[in-house]
Structure 1
């Protein structure tokens, strides 16, 4: 009986699943009449087959087995995430069409958008938000612009993306009636690298040919120009070495070059080492092993990539044809070469003079003055009273006035007297001291330790994050 009751217990739920039908219980008379009409065999109980009921363990196994579907039935079942009643249907993703535009020489952002069919009002509004993050002068041939348009209106710009460099994306996107700009950068991991070269034809070309980016090579030339006269001091066989940062992504992709951290220039067997140092006020300078700064004083060569074409002292004037005192030094350079302020100071005059042509005079501390003549043009903002910093561009090389070709005529005056800029010794700025010196020496020692690893054959070493 226990087995029968258990089987009945399992069958009842199944019966409940059958389609609903109209059912009426028969009366006693109907039962007796129908039973009398049946043969005796029909009234005998049905024999029970051994397998008609499952043994108790088998029943329990069936009850505990998970519900499974055959493959055709399972294919009809789709997983749908549960959403509470009243949840609104998700909005469909907006449909876009995309267009990639490659920048060619002479292209502008506004011109590229106009050529792509973007209305002028949209183009100006989008660029007004984009330019603070991506100035127009950073546009380079070969860069690509990704433009997204509304799929239903191919002139309606929805977004613009550009990659200024590896791992760096700048974008502007339509937000309602306005625009919003944003930028993203991959995390950068600094590595230390070093290049070395024999100086042939100048420090700058030697470094560039060795693999140092041009802007970093310029920074080294300008740093050493405080102490080195590149026209007189360089000899065959001189060497230069520079340690600098390479910024890489997590997977090792080169994202950009970082800062120059160290340089060594060997002239006639004597090595001059310098290290980069940033003070607590954020001002960056170059210092020697004792903490003495290279900056300060005066630049002996206030422009890059030039050669001295005429020295200080009496000479035969190339135009007038007679001997007269040459009160400065001349540097031959291509027209338009930047000219730098030799030291911090205040502009005294910016004007055109008969012999000098376009000329700038700058007053400096210690009753000194510098003069820059034959300029093709002045830098924007140059006027009497303007304060300038050492190394700031103040004009461009030219051939105005009494000149036989493009060059810079450079004079240095002390107490009203012209002196030789190439040989005059001027007061040096103070060296680091106290806590500032201790911080500098600690950083210098750590950098030298990393450089020693490069000397053992490594091409790069990872640096601690800034």
Structure 2
């Protein structure tokens, strides 16, 4: 083994026979042309907010251009893009110092397409364009219940659509109307879609954990033996084969199952379902995998959908404002598919969903009846499931450690 040593040598230590001469040369200053920045346009980037209008976005972008605004709102392409505006998507504009719009990229919903408005020599023109390349990141959030689920998800910075997914996933076990307790916790691992370094929307939940009244529930997304991605509990039961307690986004129960005074007939009658008060147009989902048995009008039910499930179970969805496009008898639907929309048809006094569960033709309370759970994996499949999903479930431990450390 050889060793090489290096030492620093300074001019003061050099031998005296080496002469040094300082050379100084004066260089002329470079000729610079100072640009007039008053004429340069600005590139502005702004995120769409919930409930935004195009006028509000123009204001935040510093655009004062009635012609451009009218061009968008008057054209069919512009109207479609405005209808498809989604919160958290990114709008990019090039704006002159005077506020005139030179170009605008308006995202088309959650697709990779943009509607581009440009000002050229011939005036304003519209064209379609593929938006900037998007990347998917994995993000984690956790929260603690103080008053309500959606209050806690908002405080944790969880996007609205992820919060809705969370309520749907755990709706099989937890009644978010009555089961929540102060101090309940949740952990969520989900996809976040980025565009040019900016978050534009949230994607699917990859894994989630909910501690309700001291009892732990957890789900992970996994591609099972059938090759279809589904959500499974920790012990390998598919949530897709369970039943949602509430077949629409979290809402208020306006009438429970059982005997009641009929609001129209004025007589005491059996109420064979649960009523969920919700605004007209609220999407209604299939509570489990099923075949459409009936879709149409039926007396006091108004617009009605009947789904036939396994084990001689049927579910009724009544008073609907309308049906999902193309829905027909004999069609196969999956849990969570939108089948209709809340309304007030038939005998009703306000917009709501009347939801029934019938087992072998007999009505049962949708909120309390024991519904069939999912089948488990085989021993071999369960071992593969646990091994493949271990990295996702380990993230729960990290989030719980950070929570305990914060306390």
| Class of the TM-score when normalised by the shorter of the 2 chains | 0.5 to 0.7
Shift of 1:340: 0.9
Equivalent residue, structure 2, for 1:143: 91
Q: How does 1:132-171 map to 2 (within 5 A)?
A: 137-139=83-85, 143-146=91-94, 161-162=105-106, 170=114
Partner of 1:228: 174
CA distance in structure 2 between the partners assigned to 1:273 and 1:355 by the alignment: 40
CA distance 1:147–1:293, change in 2 (3 Å): same
Write out per-residue CA displacement over residues 8-50 of structure 1, whole angstroms, 9 at most, x where no aligned residue: xxxxxxxxxxxxxxxxxxxxxxxxxxxxxxxxxxxxxxxxxxx
The unaligned stretches of length 5 or more in structure 2 are: 1-25, 32-40, 58-65, 97-101, 119-126
Contact 1:343–1:390 under 8 Å retained in 2: yes
CA distance in 1, matches of 2:128, 2:344: 48
Give the equivalent residue in structure 2 for 1:194: 141
User: Following the alignment from structure 2 to structure 1, what is the Cα–Cα distance between the partners of residues 128 and 296?
Assistant: 45
Aligned twin of 1:243: 189
Partner of 1:267: 212
CA distance in 1, matches of 2:385, 2:354: 38
Return the offset for 1:180: 7.8
**Given that residues 169 and 185 in structure 1 are in contact (C-alpha distance below 8 angstroms), is that contact kept between their aligned partners in structure 2?**
no
Aligned equivalent of 2:157, options 211, 215, 218: 211
Task: Determine whether 1:313 maps to 2:292.
Answer: no
Bigger Rg, which one: 1
Task: Using the TM superposition, name which of 211-220 and 232-241 deviates more.
Answer: 232-241
Q: Secondary structure at the match of 1:365?
A: coil
Kindly state the Cα deviation for residue 324 of structure 1 after the two structures are TM-superposed. Answer: 1.9
3-state SS, counterpart of residue 444 of structure 1: helix
Distance change >3 Å, CA 454–CA 344, structure 1 → 2:
closer
SS in 1 for 2:382: helix
In angstroms, what is the RMSD of aligned CA positions?
4.5
Match of 1:184 in 2: 132
2 CA distance for matches of 1:376 and 1:363? Answer: 21
**What SS is found at the alignment partner of 2:163?**
helix
TM-score, L = length of structure 2:
0.68
Unaligned runs of at least 5 residues, structure 1? 1-69, 76-96, 149-156, 459-466
For the structure 1 residues 284 and 137, does the alpha-carbon distance in structure 2 shift closer, same or farther, using more than 3 Å as the test? Answer: farther
| 8 Å CA contact 2:42, 2:94 repeated in 1 | yes
Q: Is the 8 A contact 1:204 1:305 kept in 2?
A: no
